[in-house]
Amino acid sequence: MREKQANRRIRLLLVVFTVAFGAMFARAFWLQTVEAAHLSHLAKSQQQQTQTVPADRGTIYDRTGVQLALGEQDTTIYADPQLVHNARGIALAAHTILGADANSLYPALKNKKLQFVYVKRFADPTKAALFLKKSFAGIASYPEELRTYPQGDVAAQVLGFAGVDDTGLGGLELQYNRKLAGRPGRQTIVRDPTGQAIDVISSQPVQEGSNLFTTIDHTIQAQAEKVLRETVSHWGAQDASALVLDPATGEVLAMAQTPGYNANNTSNVARYAAGLLRNRTVTDTYEPGSTFKLVTLTAALTDKLVTPKTRFTLPYRLQYAGCAQCSVHDAEYRPTVRYSVAQILSYSSNVGAVTIARKLGPERLQSWVQKFGFGSLTGIDFPGESSGYVLPLPEWSETTIGNVPIGQGISVTPIQMASVYAAVANGGVWIQPHLVDRVGGRSPESWKHRRLMSASVDREIKAMLGGVVNDPGATGNEARIPGYTVAGKTGTGQVATAHGYSSTNYTASFVGMVPASHPKLVVLVKVDDPRGSIFGGVVAAPAFAAIAKFDLQYLEVPPDAPKTLDASNLSATQ
């Protein structure tokens, strides 16, 4: 009996083993045939992984070697949920050490359908090392660069910013993105079953990004921004812009505007208004008003229609083109006067400028507008430059000859206007304005030159611009700087609307050169919608003087009019 029971148990055990081995063989067959390709790919992906090795983005410097934009080396930690064994432990450690959100991280680590989850991006390297010492399965890391701007809001609209992937999204960061970014490398890594790297089997070297050396001087830039903030606050203006150029080279020493923003806080760009991010000195246009009279007078002098001493009898209001609406008048009421061409510029007579323009005629005036570069790009090395707008000659009406000569019915950018006055300061030769001196060790390109006026006409224009500042009762007296000669022009432009011109909104501007005897700097200031006064000579000229005075002293430019410096000191002590 016992022998039969033993045999029965042996046969049962044999059946169990046969079924078990059959199931094992069936499973093995399934894995080696149907699932072979999938499992092979999975095994390989767990053992070998090709990674992109990011290149370090080049640093942006000012002209003195001060860092304006650079990369900080951080560590990005990530997980492969398919290799993670302790999701809870990882989430808690990431929260405690790295400051990660454990509640959102934990379910992601548990999701076996995923192969990549950020544990913490741009982690502090010291904290990252502490976290990685815990050797969690499925955790890996790579170095990543976070773009920072040491000067904060200084030159923010010029520099632009780079996104979280270190790609330039605005300003010089965008314009020179390819040079700054370099070229990433690649490496194939072998990992153990826990996800830890054990070998590198192939690699492609990284080509680091080139450094960018700008023409900007961060001290001149910061001072210009400070003056603009004070000007906007004093006049209750909407905003303001300024440019400082070296007329001999076309280099932009400062390109300022207010309000600004801190370039380190652009992770959520949507919170900023579009106008705050734009570099308005390059992208935005305005009707320049009387600063544009330079073109009208240069044309008439060059074509020998007038000399600086030619006189005209000028009523307060001038009718032209035989229509009741075709009239122009000066900014403030005055009796009929007899002004020379130089006085027309000094006292900014609209009637005088239109009178001279009528001697030129539309065709010649239009050709001079184009010769000066208005309606065309300057070619400055900055994205989004506007060409402004010049009315095509076939579209000129009876009123156009009364508008364009005084800077109405035409739109320009601040960089266009500043570069034209820089040409006057440079003996009549225009040089393409630019913001970058070199990329790496090479200059990015050769900058264009062209002559706008003869040397003799340039001397006449420069002398007349000096009268704008120095003649008693002229519009630019507030631009005087003790110890230095100044030449420049005021501008007061009405703001165009869909229904004509605003009666309350104006653009006040001043653009000039110092020292006028041998110009080292050209400074333009533009203030939008000031309250209390609208005139460029009142609102913008003092800001010009404040910026230029600081720059002259900072650059150690010797005074060219020491007597005015002595007189200023004497009056201050009395």
The CATH fold of domain 218-259+279-437+445-573: Beta-lactamase (3.40.710)
Residues 6+ apart with CB under 8 A from 450: 429, 430
Start-end ranges of CATH 3.40.710.10 in the chain? 218-259+279-437+445-573
- Per-residue pLDDT, 146: 84
Rounded average pLDDT over 53-82: 89
Phi and psi of 557, rounded to 5°?
-80, 120
Asked if the model's pLDDT at residue 324 lies above 50, the reply is yes
Asked if the model's pLDDT at residue 568 lies above 60, the reply is no
- Per-residue pLDDT, 573: 39
The residue among 356, 225, 218, 228 whose CA lies nearest residue 292 is: 356
Coil/strand/helix, residue 314:
strand
Dihedral over alpha carbons 308, 312, 315, 317 (to 10 degrees): -60
State how far the alpha carbon of 132 is from the alpha carbons of 79, 102, 117, 126, 128, in Å: 11, 17, 16, 10, 6
Least confident interval from 152-161, 220-229, 319-328, 430-439: 319-328
- Per-residue pLDDT, 140: 87
C-alpha–C-alpha distance, residues 251 and 266, integer Å = 28
Give the model confidence (pLDDT) of 213-238 as tens digits: 999 999 999 999 999 999 999 999 99
Give the model confidence (pLDDT) of 5-29 as tens digits: 666 666 666 666 676 666 666 666 5
Which pTM does this prediction carry? 0.83
Confidence of residue 121 (pLDDT cuts 50, 70, 90): confident
C-alpha–C-alpha distance, residues 169 and 176, integer Å = 10
Dihedral over alpha carbons 371, 372, 375, 381 (to 10 degrees): 120
- Rank 392-401, 437-446, 533-542 by mean pLDDT and report only the highest: 533-542
- The amino acid sitting at 152 is G
Neighbour tally for 522: CB within 10 Å:
29
What is the DSSP track for 399-449?
THHHHGGGT-S-BB-HHHHHHHHHHHHTTTEEE--BSEEEETTB-S-PPPE
| Residue pair 286/526 in contact by the 8 Å Cβ criterion | yes
C-alpha–C-alpha distance, residues 176 and 27, integer Å = 59
Confidence of residue 412 (pLDDT cuts 50, 70, 90): very high
Dihedral over alpha carbons 94, 79, 126, 196 (to 10 degrees): 130
Strands (E), 447-520: 449-451, 487-497, 500-514
Phi and psi of 326, rounded to 5°?
-90, 85
Task: Please give the structure tokens belonging to residue 511.
Answer: 């653009």
Judge residue 202's burial from the number of C-beta atoms within 10 Å of its C-beta, 0-12 exposed, 13-18 middle, 19 or more buried: exposed
3-state helix, strand, coil in the chain (%, to 5): 40, 25, 35
Give the model confidence (pLDDT) of 339-367 as tens digits: 999 999 999 999 999 999 999 999 999 99
Dihedral over alpha carbons 75, 78, 84, 85 (to 10 degrees): 40
Task: Please give the structure tokens belonging to residue 165.
Answer: 């992937």
Mean pLDDT of the chain: 88
Give the model confidence (pLDDT) of 230-263 as tens digits: 999 999 999 999 999 999 999 999 999 999 998 8
| Residue pair 94/131 in contact by the 8 Å Cβ criterion | yes
Architecture in CATH for domain 57-100+114-214: Alpha-Beta Complex (3.90)
Task: Please give the structure tokens belonging to residue 538.
Answer: 């009142």
Least confident interval from 173-182, 189-198, 406-415, 456-465: 189-198
| Residue pair 80/115 in contact by the 8 Å Cβ criterion | yes
> In which residue are the tokens 């008003």 written?
289
Rounded average pLDDT over 376-405: 94
Rounded average pLDDT over 139-156: 89
Share of the chain above pLDDT 90, in %: 65
